[in-house]
Amino acid sequence: MALNLPKGMHEHYGRNTERMPELLRAGEVPMFAARFMQARLQKGNDFPHLWTNYADTSDLVVYPQGNDKDVYILLTVDKQGKNISNGRRALELIRAYNLASNHGAIVEELEDISGNGLIKVPRKRIITETDLTQRQILKQLVWRILARHPDEVPAEFAEDKNLLRDYSKEIQSRTGSQRNMALYLGEALDDKTTLKAWCVGRLGNRSDASGRLGLDSDFGRLVGFLAPEALGKGVEKVKTYTEVDLQKFDVTLKGLEDALHPDVIRQFADLRRKL
């Protein structure tokens, strides 16, 4: 069943390796953790699905090759909702046929995705696989980065410094538990650098955050919103298709059915329905 989400938010359910390219082609950007947290606080009462479901985010966790001491968190979208250049490159790595044995996307060189938003986090500073007290949540570097606390992230990403405090208090109130918001990490590979998406869990899981889930899981869920670069003057230049145009499209599609891969035919058909 499709989620009932606030206007401007679009669910992309299924394998991240398939849905991420689809989302980016549509001119959308995937929801980042801080914005998802804000949506829950501001609109969760009117849209309960925000609380009862999880979301894979555009905030990524990078596992450096052969390094069991550190991970990196990569913020791929700035606070205005715009993809940064190295972030866009990282998101484009999330695709079929680019997966390592840990079901993460392969990064040829860490330098390929280095730049603003790539933040090194020592594993020893992360409490994993246990629900956290309010005090622990507010001190956890991973949660502070995901909530985009101004003291932990560059200014272009920074959000309200009180977001993590307000969000964790709301989680505590709704679960009735003093311990919530556990963190889960995967392991680095000896032969490859890989990345995965941080998934913010449903309220029933006490809003945990996992960075170890496979990008090819059938149960992935990205939430997209329209990128700023897709708005404005560019919208005025979009061609309006007539029925004659659509009929020509159908004829062309039919003539290519024997030559094209079935997945391509399906994508053409999906595009036809949207026009």
Helices 243-256, 262-274: axis angle to 10 degrees equals 170
Position 3 in a domain: no
Mean of pLDDT over the chain: 89
pLDDT at 237 over 70: no
What's the confidence (pLDDT) of residue 135? 97
> Taking residues 227-251, what's their average pLDDT?
52
Looking at the structure, tell me whether residues 176 and 259 fall in a common domain.
no
> Taking residues 209-233, what's their average pLDDT?
87
Position 83 in a domain: yes
Looking at the structure, tell me whether residues 138 and 160 fall in a common domain.
yes
Q: What percent of the chain has pLDDT over 90?
A: 81
Beta bridge partners of 12: 222
Looking at the structure, tell me whether residues 176 and 72 fall in a common domain.
yes
DSSP tag of 180: B
Closest CA to 19 of 31, 8, 7: 31
Reported as a pLDDT band with limits 50, 70 and 90, residue 238 is very low
* Enclosing domain of residue 206: 10-237
Name the domain count of the chain: 2
Looking at the structure, tell me whether residues 97 and 194 fall in a common domain.
yes
> Taking residues 232-241, what's their average pLDDT?
42
Looking at the structure, tell me whether residues 154 and 275 fall in a common domain.
no
Looking at the structure, tell me whether residues 173 and 118 fall in a common domain.
yes
pLDDT at 142 over 70: yes
Q: Are 113 and 74 in contact (CB under 8 A)?
A: yes
pLDDT tens per residue, range 72-84: 999 999 999 999 9
Looking at the structure, tell me whether residues 226 and 253 fall in a common domain.
no
Beta strands in 37-91 (DSSP E): 55-63, 70-75
Looking at the structure, tell me whether residues 246 and 113 fall in a common domain.
no
Position 192 in a domain: yes
Reported as a pLDDT band with limits 50, 70 and 90, residue 274 is very low
Three-state SS for 99? strand
Q: Are 208 and 40 in contact (CB under 8 A)?
A: no
Q: What is d(CA 163, CA 159) in angstroms, rounded to the nearest whole number?
A: 7
Looking at the structure, tell me whether residues 205 and 121 fall in a common domain.
yes
Question: DSSP labels for 134-148?
Answer: HHHHHH-HHHHHHTT
Q: Of the given ranges (134-143, 145-154, 238-247), which has the lowest mean pLDDT?
A: 238-247
What's the confidence (pLDDT) of residue 228? 78
Q: Write b or e for each residue in 91-129: b if 16 or more Cβ atoms lie within 10 A of its Cβ, otherwise e.
A: bebbbeebbbebbbbebeeeeebeebbbbebeeeebeee
> Taking residues 219-236, what's their average pLDDT?
73
Position 140 in a domain: yes
What's the confidence (pLDDT) of residue 262? 54
pLDDT at 97 over 90: yes
Closest CA to 73 of 4, 140, 172, 5: 140
pLDDT at 51 over 80: yes
Position 103 in a domain: yes
Looking at the structure, tell me whether residues 246 and 164 fall in a common domain.
no
Q: Are 60 and 197 in contact (CB under 8 A)?
A: yes
Looking at the structure, tell me whether residues 96 and 186 fall in a common domain.
yes
Q: What is d(CA 148, CA 164) in angstroms, rounded to the nearest whole number?
A: 9
Reported as a pLDDT band with limits 50, 70 and 90, residue 227 is confident
Count how many residues are written for the chain: 275
